[in-house]
Amino acid sequence: MTLWLKMSFKRTTGGLTLLYHTSSMEHTFSNLVFILDQIERSNILDAMELLSKSTCLQFKERTTEKRHLIITDKLGNGCWADTGRQARGRTYMNLSRRCTLNRATILHELMHILGFLHQHARPDRGLYLCVLYENILPQPTALYNYAAIRPWTELPFPLPYDFESIMHYKPDMYSVAPGRLPTMIARRPWSAVTIGQREQLTVYDVLGIHFLYCLIPIDLSFFGTTLYRVIDTSVDSLIRNHDPTTDVELWELGNLIGGDMRLPRPRFQNALAGPLDAAYRWPNATVVYSIDGSFNSSELEFINGAMREFERHTCVRFRRRNTIGPAMDVAYVSIDNSDAGCWGDVGRGVERTVVNLQPGCANSLTTPVHELMHSLGFFHEHNRLDRDRYVTILYGNMLSDDSLQSNFDLVDAGNTTTFNVPYDLGSIMHYRRDAFSKRPKVLDTMQAKVPWEGELGQGTTLTWYDALLINIMYCGVPVPREPLPVPSRWIPAKAYGRKDRFLYERTMRNKASG
């Protein structure tokens, strides 16, 4: 999933440019009849000082500069501001008397001046909250303020949705009955969060300014998974109490994308695209791993057994991470159980990537094999671009949470490939027919359009086509020139013998010497 940075751009003849190009902003107090009120003047200057202390921004009084910010109360009774520096030279911020009584309002308008839009207008806001239009005042201005913006451009610096941002409306803004009828509610699992403007800038507000103006590299690793989607801790009890006699798979109980995929960070890449020696695949078909969780002997047996499944059917090998000296492995898969859920990062990263198997996830081979497929770079089979030729998605039978429907979105054509391998309804990466159903075993969410014997998706281990995909991507097996038959039943993978491994290693040596 792509997150959009909440910043405004203006189109010029030269293309897309940031509205503000400098961290030094000239301002002037113009016709402020209330400027004699030192408390109000102090609030304005305090807001500017807070921005200066938190970021690299500096404010200075205007002398003769042509481009400057005019703070006035002569342009109406409201609190509003131009978004970003204006080409005409003068940028306006209107603060009627009531607007200067609260520093949060001043900060909010100054953020507009810097080029930031409202948080709740982000294109991805539907993943995080529901807008209750029936509770909004039936006025064009009120409805306009809840319109999601059209993204002008995509930035390679995704910030998470910030419910507490200084740029987020309160939950009853423009309500027909403020305090009683909300206009916005957070989706699960964020239903308990506080929505709307705080008195201070949030960490993410400050990070956005740093990125836009200060050109300072920012280490975001300490934010962990909150940068992408919060891992719901209630998933832990769902998995621990999972009934194995049901058709619900463990990874369906998670709240990440697809239930179990923590999508790549900006520095990560999807391993399904790019040349064979791309840095975002595991070099030499060798996955470096570390067992970092406190697993019992039975769980370790299944985790190691899952690795052996890949080694039996493909040229991929698993090697313990070296943690000592100059040969220390920086990029590796951390197999852990410290977080809730059964999930994995997609593809190889430049440092630590994670396969999380909380208690209950490693009670068989199936889930570890599935999650290790993610770490090799594979998405779910039912997200393929050609999916609709083989299955029908029954959205009406799904749980009412709209965010779950995104688990059935198709992948990005520019970042994935099928290697000309047919759609496999039995793949270890395919959901079952009643995944995310509001009535499992009764209502299907997927139905096959082609002949198929048995249950859709996710057998106990790799299918023949699962192994073929890996062998094409990692092992030098050529992409099929002629269409292969679409399977009509679950077909187990064949053993990948020593001869195949020898041919792969010889191919890699020839490439290196050439």
CATH architecture of 223-509: 3-Layer(aba) Sandwich (3.40)
Question: Closest Cα to residue 335, out of 372, 384, 286?
Answer: 372
Give the CATH H-level superfamily of domain 24-114: Collagenase (Catalytic Domain) (3.40.390.10)
pLDDT profile of the chain (514 residues), mean per 10? 27 26 44 50 86 85 80 77 77 80 86 86 83 86 75 52 89 89 86 80 86 62 41 53 57 47 35 41 91 92 95 94 86 88 81 87 91 90 91 89 75 78 92 87 91 82 91 88 88 68 57 54
According to the model, what pLDDT value does residue 509 have? Answer: 57
Name beta bridge partners: 86: none
According to the model, what pLDDT value does residue 97 have? Answer: 72
Question: Is the backbone of residue 458 left (phi > 0), alpha (psi -120 to 50) or beta?
Answer: left
Single-letter code of the amino acid located at 17: T
According to the model, what pLDDT value does residue 504 have? Answer: 56
CATH topology of domain 117-214: Collagenase (Catalytic Domain) (3.40.390)
According to the model, what pLDDT value does residue 441 have? Answer: 84
For residue 18, CA distances in Å to 69, 114, 116, 216 come to 16, 10, 11, 17
Q: How many helices (H) and strands (E) does the chain have?
A: 9, 17
According to the model, what pLDDT value does residue 443 have? Answer: 92
Domain ranges of the chain: 24-114, 117-214, 223-509
Binding site, annotated residues for Zn(2+): 108, 112, 118, 370, 374, 380
According to the model, what pLDDT value does residue 456 have? Answer: 86
According to the model, what pLDDT value does residue 35 have? Answer: 40
Asked if 27 contacts 59 with a C-beta cutoff of 8 angstroms, the reply is yes
Q: How far apart are the C-alpha atoms of 430 and 423, rounded to whole Å?
A: 10
Q: Strands 90-95 and 332-336: what pairing?
A: unpaired
Single-letter code of the amino acid located at 477: V
According to the model, what pLDDT value does residue 16 have? Answer: 23
Q: Determine the Cα angle at 339 with ends 359 and 319, to 5°.
A: 80
Q: How far apart are the C-alpha atoms of 78 and 99, rounded to whole Å?
A: 8
According to the model, what pLDDT value does residue 513 have? Answer: 56
For residue 432, CA distances in Å to 121, 371, 382, 429, 437 come to 35, 16, 10, 10, 10
Count other C-beta atoms under 10 Å from residue 123's C-beta.
15
Question: Which residues carry out catalysis?
Answer: 109, 371
- CA 414 to chain centroid, in Å, comes to 17
